[in-house]
């Protein structure tokens, strides 16, 4: 029986690649702290779960990290629905505002490390 892929589905490849190639300064900054298993686990960028693409994802811990800019202040209902969808697949999502990453990168990394436990 055929089943739709939920995690990193092939039909989302183009969108994921586009997002990786157009990463924001804040995404690049956080990626420099997460890449190469610096926190003891592997993270990937622009990973899809169902039809959502999360900024960073740790498959081993099923942890998604989202970075939010100003536009997310107006999208609270959408973001809440998205979070519930991810949770339905067993994915824990944590969110940070872009300003947190820019101004308090080490604190953000500490919070991510705590979420991995």
Confidence class of residue 72 from pLDDT cuts 50, 70 and 90? Answer: low
Position 69 scores a pLDDT of: 81
Q: pTM of the prediction? A: 0.90
Asked if residues 76 and 67 have their Cβ atoms less than 8 Å apart, the reply is: no
In a domain, 40, yes or no: yes
In a domain, 5, yes or no: no
Asked if residues 94 and 115 have their Cβ atoms less than 8 Å apart, the reply is: yes
Burial class (CB in 10 A: 0-12, 13-18, 19+), 111: middle
Confidence class of residue 70 from pLDDT cuts 50, 70 and 90? Answer: confident
Q: How far apart are the C-alpha atoms of 51 and 59, rounded to whole Å?
A: 17
What range defines the domain where residue 37 resides? Answer: 10-115
Confidence class of residue 4 from pLDDT cuts 50, 70 and 90? Answer: low
Residue 115 has pLDDT above 60, yes or no: yes
Number of folded domains in the chain?
1
In a domain, 97, yes or no: yes
b or e along 18-38 (b: 16 or more beta carbons within 10 Å of the residue's beta carbon)? Answer: ebeeeeeebbebbeeebeeee
- Residue 96: give its domain's CATH number: 3.40.960.10
In a domain, 52, yes or no: yes
DSSP 8: S
What mean pLDDT comes out for the span 29-51? 97
In a domain, 15, yes or no: yes
Q: How far apart are the C-alpha atoms of 49 and 53, rounded to whole Å?
A: 6
Asked if residues 80 and 109 have their Cβ atoms less than 8 Å apart, the reply is: no
In a domain, 47, yes or no: yes
- Strands 52-58 and 92-97, sheet pairing: unpaired
- Strands 92-97 and 63-68, sheet pairing: parallel
């Amino acid at each position: 029986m055929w089943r739709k892929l939920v995690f990193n589905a092939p039909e989302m490849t183009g969108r994921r690649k586009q997002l990786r190639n157009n990463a924001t300064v804040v995404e690049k900054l956080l990626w420099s702290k997460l890449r190469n298993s610096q926190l003891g686990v592997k993270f990937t960028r622009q990973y899809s779960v169902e039809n959502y693409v999360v900024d960073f994802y740790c498959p081993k811990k099923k942890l998604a990290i989202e970075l939010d800019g100003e536009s997310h202040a107006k999208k609270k209902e959408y973001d809440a629905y998205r979070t519930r969808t991810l949770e339905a697949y067993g994915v824990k999502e944590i969110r940070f505002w872009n300003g947190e990453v820019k101004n308090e990168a080490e604190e953000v990394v500490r919070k991510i490390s705590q979420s991995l436990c």
